[in-house]
């Protein structure tokens, strides 16, 4: 059963920031990176447990997909997947409430 995918405003802001930063050097690579991150997240509706549990949080429902240098942080809820953030792997993770 596929779940609904929902992006939080913070996660969309993260993607915008990532795209803007990369775009300074390469508009093509910025677009490619953002499209790839969206694509990876879309796979979660079919495979919600494909990501690992976020080590800093250690809760079964809070997981992450690692893609390149980025962490796609998400929550598994009853009937949906909520993307709560997309961060560079070197950035500290603000704890999700």
> How many other β-carbons are positioned within 10 Å of the β-carbon of residue 83?
23
CATH of domain 4-88: 3.30.2310.20
Full-model pTM? 0.88
Q: Which residues contact 72 (CB under 8 A, 6 or more apart)?
A: 37, 40, 41, 51, 64, 65, 66, 83, 85, 86
Note whether 73 and 91 are within 8 A (CB): no
Q: What percentage of the chain exceeds 90 in pLDDT?
A: 81
Q: How many residues does the chain have?
A: 97
SS3 97: coil
Task: Calculate mean pLDDT across residues 1-8.
Answer: 88
Distance CA 29, CA 11 (A): 19
Q: What residues does each domain of the chain span? A: 4-88
* CB hemisphere CA count around 92 (13 angstroms): 2
Does the structure show a pLDDT above 70 at 16?
yes
């Amino acid at each position: 059963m596929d779940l609904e995918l929902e992006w939080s405003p913070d996660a969309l802001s993260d993607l915008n920031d990532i795209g803007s930063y990369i775009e300074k050097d390469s508009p093509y690579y910025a677009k490619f990176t953002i499209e790839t991150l969206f694509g990876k997240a879309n796979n979660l509706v079919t495979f919600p447990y494909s990501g690992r549990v976020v080590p800093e949080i250690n809760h079964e429902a809070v997981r992450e997909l690692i893609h390149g240098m980025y962490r796609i942080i998400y929550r598994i809820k009853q009937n949906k997947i909520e993307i709560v953030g997309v961060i560079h792997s070197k950035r500290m993770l603000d704890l999700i409430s």
